[in-house]
A and B are shown apart, each in its own frame.
Chain A
């Protein structure tokens, strides 16, 4: 048995291979957790799942050796009143590795924009070291803090610890469980105006408002399937909302890109504007005569390229708001499906209220008409965009067209009988 820092670790020749190389390794991290856990126990801390990180190493090594999994799905969601956020997982080796027989995942609602104080992080880790494996995943694909592995009987105490993390663990604020299953998944947003000058609306505020207003939808699954809301401050879409959210709110502007000509001339000294900006504009909307940069804003499709290249010279316009994209999702089998335009523009000051109105209309329709495990985008394919637009009270708009028709001899109805 290898001994590290006075802690015995199981023999894991296959897993050890995954520690080689310059990149981060989850094996290294699980070993560290095993060591830290044992140290904490020696220091007299209360630990409910002794040996769980070590147990995980044993199960993984065995799985690599036998080329089969020892994990099973299903089971209890036993935090009172919550239907989501706890994902039951079991191992079929309870006689050999009882430490990880139950290995349930808890999702924790992250703060908007993923801002933490170290105090909050310490408190989270202290609570999880006591009630779970101590292993975390910051963050999961939903955006939540993922707590990996605990037993059924520790789920409720851990949920209580989160709810009183301020009182008993010294966190500046308590935490709540996130979403899973057929509910509203924990809404997420980019860091927006807190750090980014491109933000066209307050993404953090929007995310917070949706989270607070839709607590019932978040914690109590009742829909055909999951529903994700993601708020991106500008078309750079740093949280990949267009590929991952059923309802993506992407910041944009209606008027003209703001240009500081003096700053453009400064850039001209260090970059080739013709080559790196003018030629790269997808709609050829930019011209540059060596002194002045001109943008034909009617033809700008808000791709952000020119602004990203010259952030000191160019800025999004002043009349700001957001576009709503509907139906994005990222299934593993068919690959990502990009959302499409449902509402071309909502001004910033009306954004949250208008989104709530639309969301509630969509949920009512989808809950009524959706088949089991049918995402809202799939329902729109089945029922047609016409019906969807009626549901959300929008008129068809040229900006919703996915691609212009390019063959005059094909009548589209015959393609889609």
Chain B
């Protein structure tokens, strides 16, 4: 059971990070000091649950929260021609 609590805790922590900015799982794994493979699994679960989502720079894929994604897209459409 102890293990499950840990996974839940890690999930929460991952979500906090994802809410701040889009991450590449590889880099986030380094920051959180977990195996990338383990983090991949957690991120997939979060995506399946709708709590995390993908964001792409055009050719590179990042993961973030749906809220952060919406905020970024809103900023983009407001910036419009000024960019």
Contacts and interface: CB of A to CB of B under 8 A. Distances in A.
A180 B60 CA distance: 9
User: How extensive is the interface on chain A, given as a class?
Assistant: 20 to 34
Given A83-B54, A222-B25, A367 B48 contact: no
B24 to A, nearest CB: 8
A77 B61 contact: yes
A72 B47 CA distance: 27
B2 interface: no
Contacts of A81: 47-48
A87 interface: yes
Contacts of B56: 74-77, 83, 86-88, 181
B16 to A, nearest CB: 21
Interface string B20-32: 0000111000000
A37 interface: no
B15 interface: no
A257 to B, nearest CB: 44
Contacts of B36: 367-368
Given A81-B47, A368-B36, A74 B57 contact: yes
Interface in A260-305: none
Contacts of B55: 76-77
Interface residues of B, number: 27
A220 B39 CA distance: 13
Contacts of A180: 59
B56 to A, nearest CB: 4
Interface in A84-101: 84, 86-90, 92-95
Contacts of A87: 56, 58-59
B69 A76 contact: yes
Contacts of B63: 83
A80 interface: yes
Contacts of A152: 73
Contacts of B59: 73, 87, 180-181
B37 interface: yes
Interface in A170-216: 180-183, 216
Interface string B40-83: 10011001101001111111110100000100010010001101
Contacts of A182: 60-61
Interface of A: 72-78, 80-84, 86-90, 92-95, 152, 180-183, 216, 220-222, 224, 367-368, 372
Given A81-B47, A182-B61, 15 more contacts: A72-B83, A76-B55, A76-B56, A78-B53, A78-B69, A82-B54, A84-B61, A86-B56, A89-B58, A92-B83, A95-B80, A182-B60, A220-B47, A221-B54, A367-B37
Interface of B: 24-26, 36-37, 40, 43-44, 47-48, 50, 53-61, 63, 69, 73, 76, 80-81, 83
10 contacts: A73-B57, A75-B58, A76-B55, A81-B47, A82-B54, A83-B54, A88-B56, A90-B76, A94-B80, A95-B80
